[in-house]
């Protein structure tokens, strides 16, 4: 059995990530507006995460109903310690973006985010961190990251 995605699944996966990228770029100035209006970055981030929490909770309840499952919380004890820090990492991004957007603009913030993601991704791939199968880092991947860095620098010239 092939593990390669079908063309439809591939298109849906790429499309969903593009929508996610659009969401990140749009989220940054919206959260910056929250910060500017409230004059409190922690409150702005809290509101942003609270709205997301409510939406996710609603989606979870709907998914349980669609699957015909009752409200059951699975056993969380097998999770490794680092599985709990995803929300904290998201908080780091939201706070950094809402503070940075008014100072350097959305294009530079998003370019810096993508550059940071590429660097972290190469480290994760190289060492096989977080349960990921290790992958070699090629010259083309390094050049891709360098080009994003160049774009980030050019965005502020």
pLDDT tens-digit map of 47-90: 999 999 999 999 999 999 998 877 888 889 999 999 999 888 98
Predicted confidence (pLDDT) at residue 3 exceeds the cutoff of 90:
no
Structure confidence at residue 72 (pLDDT):
80
Please tell me the pTM assigned to this model: 0.77
Chain centroid, CA 139 distance in Å: 25
**pLDDT of the residue at 1:** 52
Ramachandran assignment for 136, one of left (phi > 0), alpha (psi -120 to 50 degrees), beta (any other): beta
Tracing tokens 């290790």 back to the chain, one arrives at 134
For residue 22, is pLDDT > 70?
yes
* Stronger pLDDT, 142 or 2, i.e. the higher one: 142
Q: pLDDT band for 114, please (50, 70, 90 cuts).
A: very high
Residues 6+ apart with CB under 8 A from 29: 101, 106
CB 98 within 8 A of CB 43: no
Of the CA atoms within 13 Å of residue 154, those in its CB half-sphere come to: 6
The pLDDT of 118-132, averaged and rounded, is 93
Q: Return the domain boundaries, the chain.
A: 23-74+90-99, 105-157
Question: What is the C-alpha separation between 150 and 111, in angstroms, rounded?
Answer: 9
Environment class of 109 (CB within 10 Å of its CB; exposed 0-12, middle 13-18, buried 19+) = buried
d(CA 28, CA 45): 11
Reply yes or no on whether the pLDDT at 2 is more than 70: no
């Amino acid at each position: 059995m092939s593990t390669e995605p079908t063309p439809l699944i591939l298109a849906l996966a790429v499309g969903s990530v593009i929508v996610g990228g659009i969401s990140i770029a749009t989220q940054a100035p919206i959260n910056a507006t929250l910060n500017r209006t409230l004059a409190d970055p922690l409150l702005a981030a809290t509101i942003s995460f609270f709205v997301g929490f409510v939406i996710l909770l609603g989606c979870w309840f709907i998914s349980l109903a669609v699957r015909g499952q009752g409200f059951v919380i699975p056993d969380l004890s097998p999770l490794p310690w680092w599985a709990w820090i995803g929300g904290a990492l998201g908080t780091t991004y939201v706070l950094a973006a809402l503070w940075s957007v008014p100072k350097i603009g959305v294009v530079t913030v998003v370019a810096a985010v993508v550059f940071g993601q590429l660097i972290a991704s190469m480290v994760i791939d190289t060492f096989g961190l977080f349960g990921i199968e290790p992958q070699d880092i090629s010259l083309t991947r390094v050049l891709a990251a360098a080009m994003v860095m160049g774009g980030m620098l050019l965005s502020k010239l």
